[in-house]
Amino acid sequence: MIVSEQKLLIRFFKLGSLLALAASIHILTLLLPWYAVRADTVSRTLLSGYLLTETLVLSVSGGVLAGVSLLATSFSSKTGTVRTVLATLSILGGVLALISPLYLSTVILPRLNVSGDPDLGFFASLFSAIILMALGFAVLLTRPQRVEQPYPQYVETEQSYVSPPPEETSLERVENVEDAVCPICYTQVTAENAVRCSSCGVVFHSGCAEAYVNINGTCPNCGRTVV
C-alpha cells in the first residue's frame, strides 16, 4: 500500500512552484546587461539578452517550458505521471536556458567579430538555468515509498477465528491532520473540515465526501456502503 503518495504530490507542487519562480527570474535576466562589448580601447556598449533574437528565443522558450511544468501537478493525480512530466519539462527548459548565454559568448560574439566581458545578466542567466536543471533532477530523485500495513479489520481471537472486513462503514471526524490531501479534489485537508472513513482510514474534505456519498452512497476509496 502506498502511504506517501499524498505527501509526494504536495512535494511535487512545491518543487513546481520553485521551478516557476526560477523560470521567471531567468526570463527577467534578459533585461540585464549580458555583455560589455568593447567598441575600442575607451568606449564600451552594454548588450542585453533581449536585444538578440537567438538569446531571446532560447531563454524565453526555456523559461516557459520550465514554468508551465507546475501545471503538471494539477492535471493528474498519478505521482508517476506528474514526476515524469515535471522532470522532463524542467530539465529541457533548463538546457535551453543554459544554451542561451553560452551561445552568445561562443557563437554570436565571434560571428560579429567583437570582444567584450560578461556582465551581471550573463552570470544570472547561467545560475538560474542551472537551478532549473537541478530542480528537475530533484524531481527525478523523489519517489514514493511502499510501506506494508496490515488490515485492522482482521482480528485473531482465542479460537484463531479471523473476522471478515465489514461491508458497511461510516465517516468520522478527524482531530489531527498532517499533510493530508483530499483524493477527490486533490487539495490539502485541514482539521476543521476533515473526515475519515472508519474502514479504509482515508481522509477527505467533509464537503467532498458528503457530496460523493449523497450521490453514490459509498466511500470514495474503499467502496463500502456509508451508514
Beta bridge partners of 195: 173, 204
204 has which bridge partners?
Answer: 195
Contact 133, 91 (CB under 8 A): yes
pTM above 0.85, yes or no: no
pLDDT class for 24, splitting at 50, 70, 90?
A: very high
Please tell us whether the domain made up of 5-140 is placed in CATH 1.20.140. Answer: yes
The answer as to CATH 3.30.40.10 being correct for domain 168-226 is yes
Q: At what angle do helices 79-103 and 5-28 cross, to 10 degrees?
A: 20
Instruction: Give the per-residue pLDDT at 133.
Output: 93
Q: What is the pLDDT of residue 4?
A: 56
Distance CA 91, CA 82 (A): 14
Distance, in Å, from the CA atom of 216 to the CA atom of 101, rounded to the nearest integer, reads 57
- Three-state DSSP at 170 gives coil
CA-wise closest residue to 58 among 104, 20, 21: 104
CB-CB contact of 174 with 195 (8 Å): yes
For cell 567579430, what's the residue? 113
Residues 6 or more apart whose CB falls under 8 angstroms from that of 63 comprise: 23, 24, 26, 27, 93, 97
Question: Domains of the chain: which residue ranges?
Answer: 5-140, 168-226
Q: Do domains 5-140 and 168-226 have the same CATH topology?
A: no
Quote the CA–CA distance of 167 and 218 in Å, as a whole number.
10
Mapped onto helix, strand or coil, the DSSP state of residue 172 is strand
Q: What is the distance, to the nearest Å, from the Cα of residue 21 to the centroid of all Cα atoms in its chain? A: 12
Question: For 160-188, how does the pLDDT look when each residue is reduced to its tens digit (9 = 90+)?
Answer: 445 555 578 888 888 777 778 888 888 88
Is the separation of the CB atoms in 199 and 213 below 8 Å?
no
Answer yes or no: is pLDDT of 122 > 50: yes
pLDDT for res 147: 46
- How many Cβ atoms sit within 10 Å of the Cβ of residue 30? 21
Answer yes or no: are the C-beta atoms of 183 and 220 closer than 8 Å. yes
Q: Is there a contact between 194 and 203 (Cβ–Cβ < 8 Å)? A: yes
